Structure 1
Amino acid sequence: MGVLEKLLGKAGPGTVDPGTYTDTDPRRSAVIRQATALLLGYPDRQLLTMLPTLRAALEEVAAPVEEIEELLDWFTARPLEQVQADYVQEFDLSRRHSLHLTYWTDGDTRRRGEALAAFKEIYRSHGAEPGESELPDYLPLVLEFAAKVSPEDGYELLQRYRPSLELLRLALRDDHLPHRGAVALVCSTLPGVSPEDRDAVMRMAGYGPPTESVGLDPYDPRLLPVSRRSTP
């Protein structure tokens, strides 16, 4: 079994309807999305052992591996416990780098619940029941769905929330976090060139995170999965 099959768990991405899905290289997109799903998730020892496979798979589909070189070093330059603590600080306790796509478009508003319900409906239409540990708009979950379950609907979700991806990429870039390279790789699987700044993203989208709050607080550390608060 080659590195691509090890990564995707099959010979290629899910079934593609050529009449509705226009990706010229779905295999490359699937590999990038699955690799970045892992790279943007909570780091554990299993991920560290997979880093060489991820690099090899990306190289095999001619993805720009240089985009994630800094991130690969970030995972291995320090003890895992410190890497995990930094991840929780940047992605779970800070709104600046939210990995939840609807946060960037709907903030903590009532209509965010409708957007999350739409994600669940799409997953369930493919027999994929989202778990309870993450909200259904969690970027690594969306990427894995697009890589392994439905390239068409996964692509549609990513394209619909392209402004969220770009705002996340810019926030990571501005704060000098190496995960920006993984998000840039995700954006490279979508049509068009990434905007250079936030104003350009806002012009593209026509909206930003609303301010109306209904008391949602996904960054409360008491709500984190146990694995994110325990020592490996």
Structure 2
Amino acid sequence: MPSDAVLYQAAALCLTYPDDDFRARLPLLREAAPQLREFTDHAALTPAAELAAHYVQVFDSGNRHNLHLSRWYDGDTRRRGMPPARFKDLYRAHGLEFTDEELPDFLPAVLEFTSRTGNLDLLAEHRAALARLRSHLSDFGTPYASVLDAVCATLPTGG
């Protein structure tokens, strides 16, 4: 398991919809992953309804901040169905079953997979998409950019 496993798990939680369970975990997230303190501090100080509305504003599927990694390459074309199947195959090969609650290329799912298995392949393969997403989030001025900053800082360079 990579030394950044806790960071990946915490980042996965930070990039999901901020429901009551997320808010209850904030103190643990802040302590376990100091790299995410900019975001966790912001989330702790922001009223729940405002944080939820901001999440929807930032990650609505019609904007430039999509958390589905294959959309950064394939858009909404017919080819989009193939890469998510590859994600599922990789999850299965590592003994994990995907629940289909979300598409398998959803960044929080990829981060959780990486946290549980130590396999950096999906994150490394999508490094360019993560960098683009990070840049878009930064330009948008959202604290979610700091979550991507922390994840991208762990990825090997080159390749």
Which structure is richer in relative contact order (CA contacts within 8 A, separation 6 or more)? 2
Question: Residue type of the partner of 2:11?
Answer: T
**Deviation sequence 1:126-184 (CA, Å, 0-9, x none):** 23221222110000000001101x212xx001111111100000000000011111111
The alpha-carbon deviation at position 93 of structure 1 amounts to 4.2
Q: Can you give the 5+ residue segments of structure 2 that lack an aligned partner in the other structure? A: none
2-structure distance, mates of 1:151, 1:77: 32
Instruction: Give the whole-Å Cα distance in 1 for the aligned partners of 2:62 and 2:76.
Output: 14
Give, in whole Å, the separation in 2 of the partners of 1:93 and 1:121.
24
Deviations 1:45-103 (A, max 9, x none): 221121221122124xxxxx3xx344223323332122112211221244210001111
Q: Which residue identity does 1:137 align to in structure 2?
A: D
Q: Secondary structure at the match of 1:99?
A: coil
Counterpart amino acid of residue 75 in structure 1? A
- Which protein shows a greater Rg? 1
Partner of 1:37: 12
Instruction: Report how many residues are paired.
Output: 159
**Partner SS for 1:157:** helix
Give percent identity, aligned residues only.
45
| Structure 2 length-normalised TM | 0.91
1:126 equivalent in structure 2 = 94
Question: Amino acid of the residue matched to residue 156 of structure 2?
Answer: P
Q: Residues 56 and 70 (structure 1 numbering): CA distance in 2 closer, same or farther, change over 3 Å?
A: closer
Instruction: Name the aligned partner's letter for residue 59 of structure 2.
Output: F
Q: Which of 10, 14, 32 is matched with 1:57 structurally?
A: 32
Q: TM-score, normalised by structure 1?
A: 0.64
Q: How does 1:216-227 map to 2 (within 5 A)?
A: none
Instruction: Kindly indicate which of the two structures has a greater share of residues assigned to helix.
Output: 2
**What are the ranges of 5 or more consecutive residues in structure 1 without an aligned counterpart?**
1-12, 14-25, 60-64, 194-203, 205-232
Give the partner amino acid of 1:156.
D
Structure 2 SS opposite 1:96: coil
Give me the CA root mean square deviation. Answer: 1.8
Q: Does 1:101 align with 2:69?
A: yes
- Whole-Å Cα distance in 2 between the matches of residues 173 and 116 of structure 1? 26
What pairs with 1:176-191 in structure 2 (closer than 5 Å)?
A: 176-191=141-156
Partner of 2:157: 192
Structure 1 runs (4+) greater than 4 angstroms displaced: none
Q: What is the aligned partner in structure 2 of residue 197 from structure 1?
A: none
Distance in 2 (CA, whole Å) between partners of 1:34 and 1:133 is: 18
